[in-house]
Amino acid sequence: MINKVYNADSRKLLEKLDKKITVKTTITSPPYFDMKDYGNDNQIGFGQNYQDYLNDLQKIFHDIYKITEDDGSLWIVIDTFKRENQVVTLPFDLSNKLKETGWLLQDIIIWKKDKTVPWSKNGFVQRKFEYILFFTKSKDFIYNKDRVRNFDTDQLKKWWVKYPERYNPKGKALDEIWEFSIPVQGSWGDQYVRHFCPLPKEMVSQMIELSTNNDDIVLDPFAGSGSVLFQSAVMHRNYVGFELNNDFIEMFSDYFRKTFNKARKEYDLLQNLTGQNEFESRILDLRVLKYAKLLIRDIDKVFSTYFKIFALKIGKGDGKHKILKVNYTLVGEFDNEDEIIVKINEIILKPPFSKFGIEPKFNFVKNKMASKDKHYGYLKSNSYSYQKSLDLESPLIRIISDICLDLNENDYL
Ligand SMILES: C[S@@+](CC[C@H](N)C(=O)[O-])C[C@H]1O[C@@H](n2cnc3c(N)ncnc32)[C@H](O)[C@@H]1O
């Protein structure tokens, strides 16, 4: 029953599937009312009146609700348009209809397309975006937000170098505007896009990543060129599609046969090269050293004893908010350790220290050997690029660590 496209009316979806499968997510873009003729007598939208069209969509999505897993979801790409001098608010009319069937509208996302039809009319400016409606079956749903974070340092603002505590180690969270250009002829294969605007595969991939795991079933009741189905298969998910127009199904099968193996190989290869782990360890290293830098700043304000800090990571933190355990050894001729530790315990409970996700351990020693092969030295004013021309014994070196960072914020945006 799975991994196929039914050449059938999606109003008959339950009959065809016989309630034998459960779907994790549905990703689809139904016909936008009567905007396009898809060349079939049973098509939804074209040739119908608006109310019948909305009622049909409501029935289809209600049927889908019944076969969706409790932690499952529904993505609908849809847009407004104009009839008889008025905007038809299709995304909102449809979401009200879906509310009646039990779907919970979790989010409205803007899909910003860079290319679009070049014309505008009086009272209707040029269109540059469409809506993505995100519904869930219940309040507990799959949402793998860490998998779609942006950790490409070429796209982040340069502040991540100096303010690592403000950046999630997994990357920057998605925002409500998704920029994906409409696929051009050729990007889904020459034949494949002849009649369509298929959804961009990167955008479909983001939805699949967010709302499913491997082997889950993804449904598209208006499959068209099959972009959702293809991307699901590439990403090790199962798929089910419905499409009235058999030409499109044949085009999809042909495209699948010719390109699937290559696409799957590329996808698998990229999985191991994402760079998210590297970004995470970079942010954590920056935090470990900046924490030491702020400690020195605050202790220097109150006490006159000169000291260096040895900062060494010792493992993962315990609680939800503590990500990392770090040993901070204060090296100096102290005669007031008790006072200093009281001060430290007071400041680390408050921001900025409390924002670092660091579970610190402190100790005091008179001397500690540093080795120039293993250790790197940092200034009181800069904890993100180590000092190459200074000895570790230099009084200007205040932080010593086995962490090697050599970053320059001006290398970034
Ligand atoms: C906007 S297109 C979908 C495009 C698709 N998302 C893609 O990436 O190519 C809508 C599709 O729904 C199909 N369709 C219309 N009415 C249908 C129905 N009652 N059952 C199944 N498919 C239908 C049309 O033939 C058309 O291919």
pLDDT per position as a tens digit, 361-396: 999 999 999 998 999 999 999 999 999 999 999 999
CA angle 152, 155, 159 (to 5 degrees): 95
The superfamily in CATH containing domain 4-142+176-271 is Vaccinia Virus protein VP39 (3.40.50.150)
Cα 164 from Cα 73, distance rounded (Å)? 34
pLDDT at 405 exceeding the cut of 90:
yes
For residue 266, give the amino acid letter: E
Ligand 1 pocket test: which of 244, 245, 246 has the largest number of ligand atoms within 8 Å of its C-beta?
244
Cα 148 from Cα 359, distance rounded (Å)? 27
Q: What value does the mean pLDDT take over residues 63-84?
A: 96
Query: Is the distance from the beta carbon of residue 243 to the nearest atom of ligand 1 less than 6 Å?
Result: yes
Instruction: Look at 133-137, 322-326, 347-351, 407-411 and tell me which has the smallest mean pLDDT.
Output: 407-411
Beta carbons of 385 and 406 less than 8 angstroms apart: yes
- Which residue is listed with tokens 């099968």? 253
Instruction: Look at 103-117, 203-217, 390-404 and tell me which has the smallest mean pLDDT.
Output: 103-117
Selected residue with higher pLDDT from 272 and 28? 28
Query: Is the distance from the beta carbon of residue 10 to the nearest atom of ligand 1 less than 6 Å?
Result: yes
pLDDT per position as a tens digit, 281-312: 999 999 999 999 999 999 999 999 999 999 99
Selected residue with higher pLDDT from 388 and 39? 388
Q: What value does the mean pLDDT take over residues 119-137?
A: 89
Q: What value does the mean pLDDT take over residues 54-70?
A: 98
At residue 194, the pLDDT reads: 54
Q: What value does the mean pLDDT take over residues 8-17?
A: 96
Whole-number Å distance, alpha carbon 40 to ligand 1 midpoint, is 10
Tell the residue nearest (CA) to atom 15 of ligand 1. 43
Query: Is the distance from the beta carbon of residue 78 to the nearest atom of ligand 1 less than 6 Å?
Result: no
Whole-number Å distance, alpha carbon 195 to ligand 1 midpoint, is 12
Confidence band, pLDDT 50/70/90 cuts, at residue 189: low
Q: What value does the mean pLDDT take over residues 68-90?
A: 95
Q: What percentage of the chain has pLDDT greater than the value 90?
A: 79
Q: What value does the mean pLDDT take over residues 388-411?
A: 93
pLDDT at 340 exceeding the cut of 60:
yes
Instruction: Look at 12-21, 343-352, 354-363 and tell me which has the smallest mean pLDDT.
Output: 12-21
pLDDT per position as a tens digit, 167-177: 999 999 999 99
Domain definitions of the chain by residue range: 4-142+176-271, 285-411
Confidence band, pLDDT 50/70/90 cuts, at residue 196: low
Ligand 1 pocket test: which of 78, 225, 243 has the largest number of ligand atoms within 8 Å of its C-beta?
243
Query: Is the distance from the beta carbon of residue 222 to the nearest atom of ligand 1 less than 6 Å?
Result: yes
Tell the residue nearest (CA) to atom 8 of ligand 1. 198
Ligand 1 pocket test: which of 28, 43, 184, 239 has the largest number of ligand atoms within 8 Å of its C-beta?
43
How high is the mean pLDDT of the chain?
92
Confidence band, pLDDT 50/70/90 cuts, at residue 18: confident
Output the CA torsion sign for 190, 192, 195, 200. Answer: negative
pLDDT per position as a tens digit, 146-156: 999 988 888 88
Instruction: Look at 66-70, 79-83, 111-115 and tell me which has the smallest mean pLDDT.
Output: 111-115
260: left (phi over 0), alpha (psi -120 to 50) or beta: alpha
Query: Is the distance from the beta carbon of residue 32 to the nearest atom of ligand 1 less than 6 Å?
Result: no
SS (H, E, C) the chain: CCCEEECCCHHHHHHHHCCCCCEEEEEECCCCCCCCCCCCCCCCCCCCCHHHHHHHHHHHHHHHHHCEEEEEEEEEEECCEEECCEEECHHHHHHHHHHHCCCEEEEEEEEECCCCCCCCECCECCCCEEEEEEEECCCCCCCCHHHHCECCCCCCCCHHHHCHHHCCCCCECCCCEEECCCCCCECCECCCCCCCCCCCHHHHHHHHHHHCCCCCEEEECCCCCCHHHHHHHHCCCEEEEECCCHHHHHHHHHHHHHHHHHHHHHHHHHHCCCCHHHHHHHHHHHHHHHHHHHHHHHHHHHCCCCEEEEEEEEEECCCCCCCEEEEEEEEECCCCHHHHHHHHHHHCCCCCHHHCCEEEEEEEECCCCCCCCCCEEEECCCCCECCCCCCCCCCCEEEEECCCCECCHHHCC
Nearest ligand 1 atom to alpha carbon 11: 19
Query: Is the distance from the beta carbon of residue 196 to the nearest atom of ligand 1 less than 6 Å?
Result: yes
Output the CA torsion sign for 11, 15, 16, 19. Answer: positive
Selected residue with higher pLDDT from 212 and 121? 212
Nearest ligand 1 atom to alpha carbon 242: 21
Tell the residue nearest (CA) to atom 22 of ligand 1. 243
At residue 195, the pLDDT reads: 52
Query: Is the distance from the beta carbon of residue 26 to the nearest atom of ligand 1 less than 6 Å?
Result: no
Whole-number Å distance, alpha carbon 36 to ligand 1 midpoint, is 10
At residue 119, the pLDDT reads: 74
CA angle 158, 161, 166 (to 5 degrees): 90
pLDDT at 191 exceeding the cut of 70:
no
Cα 54 from Cα 68, distance rounded (Å)? 21
pLDDT at 188 exceeding the cut of 60:
no
At residue 19, the pLDDT reads: 74
Cα 94 from Cα 66, distance rounded (Å)? 18
What distance, in Å, lies between the first and last C-alpha atoms of the chain? Answer: 49
